Structure 1
Amino acid sequence: MKKKTIIKAAAYIISVLLVLSYLYILWQGMHPENISKEYRMYYIEHTLKDWPGNGGLHYTYGTIEYFDMEQEPQIKRSVGGWAEPDEEEPGRWTVGENAGLLYDIDDSNGPVIVAFTTTKVMPGVSVEFTANGEVLGSFEPEADSEYSFEIQSLSAGELLLEFHITNPVSPKELGLSQNDSKYGVQLKSLVIRQEGGSV
């Protein structure tokens, strides 16, 4: 009888240790050390929609990045609200009411200009453009146009640029196709340059 009790106790202890070890492994998998922000956001948190590579969110002022698949470097910093890149499209559409891009930036040491170009626009949409939640301006976009907005200064860290779309519309609503995704603006390129610098 005593032997059976010891065996049961040992089995219980082993089971508890196994469960604890599995929980530890699971915790380690969800909270790994020495990984990049990009890896954590893309593979673990799923908040970054494109894989930019380790360190790929860092941005060098004056670098023109492209939304289409034809030109390099491509913008791979979406945090939601963008259509998948399409080889047949000249840019990338905003989808829904909010589309965001995340940057890791250095101190700007003065004002910077955010400039972007459009290729196509859905009828009747308007856009509010923000940087880290601060409204930089609103506009009614036109196709094949460039827009620019000034930010007084930027401190090193994260910069979240967001396009807030009013009245996005689907191709289905326009009778163009059965696609019911609601689009706003198709963008071709974007650059953040220090004031006085060249595009």
Structure 2
Amino acid sequence: MTRSVKFLFILAFLSLSAFYLYVLYLAKHPDTSMAYRMYYLEKKTRVWNRNQSLAYIPGTVMDLANERERCAYLSREGWDIPAKDGSGSLFSGKGGLYFTLHQVLGSLKFEGTLTTKTANTELSFAVGDKWSETVKFEKAGSQTFEVSLPAGVFIADPMEPNYLSLQSNNSIMFKTFKLSRAG
């Protein structure tokens, strides 16, 4: 083997090594959208958001009853896809909502409509260890809820997801959610 062939072989080997190191770096630090990362890489959200964003605009109603407009904020745990009859999305056990905010609005209220299947159903809300509250529904059937969230529990950063945790002792059929400014 001549010197030039050895040199070309070593050059090719070093080039391929550099290329594969770069590919490993990209695999470890992917440059993807928040929605893509949360659905495909971290496997946290239930629905792929075709709009490439988990940005939530406070005051917008999250419709959980429409089978075609699936809510991209739902976690994989706890939620089922919307029922075809329009009655909502079944929630049981633990789960929550992932979303980003572009600005902090101060105190917020979280409200929604749901149907409880059994009486004395408890629904707990939490944001990390910053805040938690429990709502108890005495009767079975169609219900509404509203909880107040203090200022500072959510992060206003489009690259950092917020997580609102939900936990229930019985199955609940959720129809809508809305996070809006309190007062």
Question: What is the TM-score with the length of structure 1 in the denominator?
Answer: 0.70
Contact conserved, 1:116 with 1:190, CA < 8 A, in 2? yes
Q: Which sits farther off after the overlay, 133-142 or 54-63? A: 133-142
Change over 3 Å in CA distance of 1:70–1:5 after alignment to 2: closer
Give distance in 1, aligned partners of 2:68 and 2:144. 18
Look up the equivalent residue of 1:192 and give its one-letter code.
L
Q: Output aligned runs, 1:159-198, within 5 Å.
A: 159-166=162-169, 168=170, 184-196=171-183
Task: Identify which range, 3-12 or 134-143, moves more after superposition.
Answer: 3-12
Partner of 2:55 in structure 1?
Answer: 58
Calculate the aligned-residue CA RMSD, in Å.
Answer: 3.0
Amino acid aligned to 1:128: S
For 1:43, the equivalent position in structure 2 comes to 40
Structure 1 match to 2:113 = 117
Change (3 A) 1:24 1:108: same
CA distance in 2, matches of 1:5, 1:195: 76
Distance 1:118 1:145 in 2: 5
1:148 aligns with 2:146: yes
Change (3 A) 1:23 1:47: farther
Q: Is the 8 A contact 1:63 1:192 kept in 2?
A: yes
Is the counterpart of residue 99 in structure 1 residue 92 in structure 2?
A: no
Tell me the secondary structure at the aligned position of residue 100 of structure 2. Answer: strand
CA distance in 1, matches of 2:24, 2:86: 41
Output the CA distance in 2 between the equivalents of 1:18 and 1:189: 53
Contact 2:33 2:53 in 1 (8 A): no
Q: Which runs of 5+ in 1 are unaligned?
A: 169-183
Deviation of 1:136 after TM superposition, in Å, equals 2.0
Is the partner of 2:19 in helix, strand or coil?
helix
Instruction: Look up the match of 1:172.
Output: none
2:46 alignment partner, SS class:
coil
1:61 positional shift: 1.7
Structure-2 change in CA distance of 1:26 and 1:164 (3 Å): same
Distance 1:103 1:39, change over 3 A: same
Overall identity of the aligned pairs, in %: 20
Which sections of structure 2, spanning at least 5 residues, go unmatched? Answer: none
Higher Cα Rg, which structure? 1
Q: Find the aligned partners of 1:140 and 1:23 in 2 and give their Cα distance.
A: 56
